[in-house]
Amino acid sequence: MLITDNADFSPPLIFECGQAFRFTPVSDGVYKGAAFGKVLTAASVPEGVLLDCSDDDFNGIWSGYFDMGRDYAAIRREIAVNGFMSEAVEFGRGIRILRQDFWETLCSFVISQCNNIPRIRGIIKRLCALCGEPAADGFHAFPDAVTVAALPVSELRAIGAGYRAEYILNAARAAAGGVFERLPDMPFDDAKRVLMSVGGVGGKVADCVLLYGLHKLDAFPVDVWIRRALDKYFPPDFDWRVFGGYAGIAQQYIFHYTRFLCKQKRRAAGE
């Protein structure tokens, strides 16, 4: 499947902006990973983006996963509310917010707490190998909440989860018990309160799950990069709610551009 209009579809930008952890680079511009029990390779090519999937899988899984029905060019114009945002949305052209499985997103961001991306990816990979169904090319599907809830805490610690093992079990038991079934239809604040009622799920993790796992695009997760950007590039009275229903998309552009500016500054300083 060849996506020829790639102005707002870049595998490196999508998979390196902190929203998903199961796709990794295999060569320049080429990423391979799994979602919804399927394995996919996404490659940037001169004609656009090449996805190694059938028409049926594209229409049934990947079109929705990559949010292909949304006009990101129009959104970029709408959220370019100042000079910094104009630069950020132009620099980040190609980012899309993935429509991920809710449980996988919740579990992944519980694992992400006080962690770095290589370790997050490693823990998730070992969890999938531990109890996920085999998929293609050596991948395993992400295990469902019922399966994870039945694991002893020692097995989760053995794959490197550390103190997060208890939090993973809390989330899995809540998901398996139906605690989150009504979240897609709940108002944002109510859904966030339900998520934060589970031990180990704080405000930032809840915002990430609402954005990446439930596609509530008014979520605005604030981590150290976003806080740094808000402090440095926006006026003191700036209210991120000006982005409205696209706050989560704006957050991704801010995150990506701020990291780039920081790296650029370090290079200039010879660090």
Per DSSP, the three-state class of 253 is helix
Enter the tokens of residue 127. 């969890």
In this structure, what are the phi and psi dihedrals at residue 145, rounded to the nearest 5 degrees?
A: -65, -35
Q: Residue 54's domain is classified under what CATH number?
A: 3.30.310.260
In this structure, what are the phi and psi dihedrals at residue 51, rounded to the nearest 5 degrees?
A: -110, 130
User: Quick check: is 93 in a domain?
Assistant: no
Catalytic residues: 204
Give the number of other Cβ atoms within 10 Å of residue 265's Cβ: 10
Enter the tokens of residue 245. 């229903």
The pLDDT tens digits for 170-224 are: 999 999 999 999 999 999 999 999 999 999 999 999 999 999 999 999 999 999 9
Q: Is residue 6 pLDDT above 70, yes or no?
A: no
For residue 46, the enclosing domain spans 2-83
Reported as a pLDDT band with limits 50, 70 and 90, residue 266 is confident
DSSP per position, 19-64: S-SS-EEEETTEEEEEETTEEEEEEEETTEEEE-S-HHHIIIIIHH
Q: Which residue has the tokens 């009275």?
A: 237
Number of independent structural domains in the chain: 3
Q: Residue 118's domain is classified under what CATH number?
A: 1.10.340.30
What is residue 268's predicted lDDT score, i.e. its pLDDT?
79
pTM reported for the whole predicted model: 0.94
Residue closest to 111 by CA, chosen among 101, 102, 99, 121: 121
What is residue 264's predicted lDDT score, i.e. its pLDDT?
86
Please tell me whether residues 261 and 199 are part of one structural domain: no
